[in-house]
Amino acid sequence: MVGVPTETVYGLAGNALNEPSVRKIFEVKGRPLIDPLIVHFASLQAAEAHVEFNDRARELAARFWPGALTMVRPTKATISDLVTAGLPSVAIRVPGHPVFHQLLEGLDFPLAAPSANPFGYVSPTLAEHVRRTLGDRIAAVLDGGACQHGVESTIVDLRDPESPRILRPGPISAESLGITMESAKSNSDRGAQAAPGMLTQHYSPNTQITLFDQGGQPNTVNEKDAVIYTSKPEASAPDNTFWLSESGELQEIAHNLFNLIQKLDQQTFTRIHIELAEDTEIGVAINDRLRRAAAKRTN
């Protein structure tokens, strides 16, 4: 059980072909067994030994791997039901982070790796986040620095080549995948059923999150609240004001988002007000994670 850096978020990696190792991943995260894992391979060739590909999937692999695209494909018998939560399909990715990629190339088995956070909490984008939340339960964390993208991979369901569906928006946008925005949105609603792990309330810090519109202002800010803007405010700001980028650049907002939320969650704020991002490109993924973080807890 090792924490690994990826270009999206840190993962909690174990041998995907070894059941006790996979079981341990669920235990360490406190993750329910109905929530399937992503399997990471060193290359498309390595993945083809365990997963069925078609032309569309190979074409996307050629364009986006190694990288932040996860594909859901029919599985071959080598992948255990524990990894897929009994589904006939498996989520797979060839990651681009040089440290993780080098690790995969040195192994003769793929690595199952969910994000390396306790189930339901914000994903880690620094080795330090993994050490703080799971450090006493795992052997080591490979420190590969701050994750480039800062949000989890885009998950696309390619089982029906006629209508690919985005199950989770991420760094690779619907536009670049050739799926229109409109259908990407409605598909992500339907995806909630196809992917049992995509719970409405997820990615949540302990501090209550309230969102406000892009370009707007939070409603009522109490003395002990914090406010996060997507870009640096023009007027000088009080001490409880923070921002995710100087200029409002979406890549930078995504890169800084989870770290700032985790930092403020360590402090004593009673509520964090966060400005939504522009709803385009990686901003769609940012807003998806923010809405889930702000959703009312059901348990």
Give the interface with Mg ion as residue ranges (CB under 5 A).
Answer: 115
The answer to whether residue 114 forms part of the interface with ligand TXA (CB under 6 A) is yes
Among 87, 99, 146, 295, binds ligand TXA (CB under 6 A): 87
The number of residues in the chain equals 299
Restricted to residues 156-195, the positions that interact with ligand TXA (CB under 6 A) are 167, 194-195
The answer to whether residue 197 forms part of the interface with ligand TXA (CB under 6 A) is yes
Min CB(93)–ligand TXA separation in Å: 6
Nearest to 2 by CA among 98, 97, 135, 141: 141
Min CB(117)–ligand TXA separation in Å: 8
For residues 255 and 244, give the distance between their C-alpha atoms in angstroms, rounded to a whole number: 9
Q: Count the Cβ atoms, other than its own, within 10 Å of residue 237.
A: 13
Q: Which partner, ligand TXA, Mg ion, none, binds residue 46 by CB below 5 to 8 Å per kind? A: none
User: What residues contact residue 205 under an 8 Å CB cut-off, 6+ apart?
Assistant: 121, 122, 261, 262, 264, 265, 272, 293
Residue 188, token pair as written in the block: 């992500």
Min CB(123)–Mg ion separation in Å: 6
Among 37, 172, 226, 257, binds ligand TXA (CB under 6 A): 37
User: Taken in order 166, 92, 201, 9, is the CA torsion positive or negative?
Assistant: negative
Q: Which partner, ligand TXA, Mg ion, none, binds residue 198 by CB below 5 to 8 Å per kind? A: ligand TXA
Q: Total number of residues binding ligand TXA (CB under 6 A)?
A: 28
Q: Residue for token digits 């409603």?
A: 219
Residue type, 236: S
Which residues make up the interface to ligand TXA (CB under 6 A)?
6, 8-9, 11, 35-38, 70, 72, 84, 87, 89-91, 93, 113-115, 152-153, 155, 167, 194-198
